[in-house]
A = this chain, B = another copy of it.
C-alpha cells in the first residue's frame, strides 16, 4: 500500500511513518515544517532530540529499509498538493498537516485566522485533488474528541438517531468545541461529510483523544525520536506535568481539575491508524471513530504523575491549582462511546497509569532540554483575553 502522510514531520506523523516503513508499505511524506517554525517562535522546542527532516528520513530508511519520497510544501497551496497527489497517486492519504494547538489558536486574531483558514483551506484542496486525481483512494483525517465538547449526554461515534416531535432521523451529533482550533476541526468534519456526499470519497474521520507518550515499538534509543513538546502552547497537560515533576516545580492543574478527557498512548494511536488504513472506509463511505482508550480527569492525571514521579525521582511532588486559562466546564458528565475500533480488532497495548513512568524517565533523560523551556510551561494564553488587531 502506498500511503501519503501529510504532516510527516509531526508527533504522530513521524511515528506513523516508521510503523508503515517497518511493515513494508511505501511512504510519501509531505510537510511544510510549520510546527517546528511556530514552536521556535514561542522560544520553545521538542525536548526529545529530533533530527532535521532530511536526516531523519535517511535514518528511518537505514533502520527499516524502504524509502520515503518527501515533498516540502503547504497543503493549503492547491498547486502544490495537486502536484504531489498527481505524481504519487497514493492508495491512502493520512491528513495530519494542520495547526494542532488549541492555545496557539487563542493567542489572538492573527492566530485564530491562521488556524481557521489554513486548516480549512488545506482540507478543501485535498478533497478536490482526491476527486480529480485519486477518487478511489482512502482519506484518514485526524479530528479530535474536542469537537464534541462536553454535552450532558453520551457521545456517539459521529452519528445518532434522534427522535424529535415524534419523528426520527439519523443525523450528525451536534458539536460544541472549546477553541478556534477545535472548531477548525469541526468545520473540517462538516466539509468532509459534504465532500463524501458530493463525490463519494472514502473518508475516515478520526475523533482522537489526547495522545501521550514518547515511544512506540519503532522509537527506541535510536535517533528516531518523535517530537515531544512541553510548553503551554504546544504541550499537553500530561507532558507539562511530567516536566514539572522532573524539574521540581509544582504540577499546575488548570482550575478545579475535574474536567475529563479521553486519552490513548502514542503506541495505541499508531495501532488504530494502521487499522484504519488496513481496513479502510468502503466505497462512498464517510465513517467516524472516537479514538481513545481511557478517560481521566486532570486531577487524576496529576495524581498519576505525582505517584510515578515520587517513586522514580525519589522526591516529594506538589500539585497546585492555577486559574483556568481555558473556557471549559470543570465538572461535567463525560461518556463518549468508543466501540468501532474494537469491533475492527483493536486491542489497547498500553495504559496511562503505567506509561507515565516511562515518560517521566524520558523527560529526566532530556531534562537539560526541558530546563531550557521551564519558563514556557506556565499558562500565558488566556482564552477570554485573545488579542485583537490592535494588540
Contact = CB atoms under 8 A, between A and B. Distances in A.
A16 to B, nearest CB: 27
Contact of A160 (B78, B116, B164, B178): B164
B389 A82 contact: yes
A275 to B, nearest CB: 26
Contacts of A39: none
A375 B354 CA distance: 70
Contacts of A156: 164
A11 interface: no
Interface residues of A, number: 56
A124 B112 contact: yes
A177 B164 contact: no
Interface string A147-190: 00001111010001011110111011111111010010011001
B168 A153 contact: yes
Nearest to A182: B194
A386 interface: yes
Contacts of A167: 152-154, 333
Given A116-B120, A156-B164, A162-B153, A193 B176 contact: yes
The 6 closest A-B pairs by CB, nearest first: A132-B388, A152-B169, A171-B174, A78-B389, A153-B167, A109-B128
A383 B199 CA distance: 10
Contacts of A78: 109, 113, 389
21 contacts: A82-B389, A113-B121, A113-B124, A113-B125, A117-B120, A128-B388, A131-B388, A152-B167, A153-B163, A153-B165, A154-B165, A154-B167, A156-B164, A162-B162, A162-B164, A171-B174, A171-B176, A174-B174, A175-B190, A178-B194, A199-B384
Given A171-B174, A172-B176, A190-B186, A389 B79 contact: yes
A388 to B, nearest CB: 4
A327 B177 contact: no
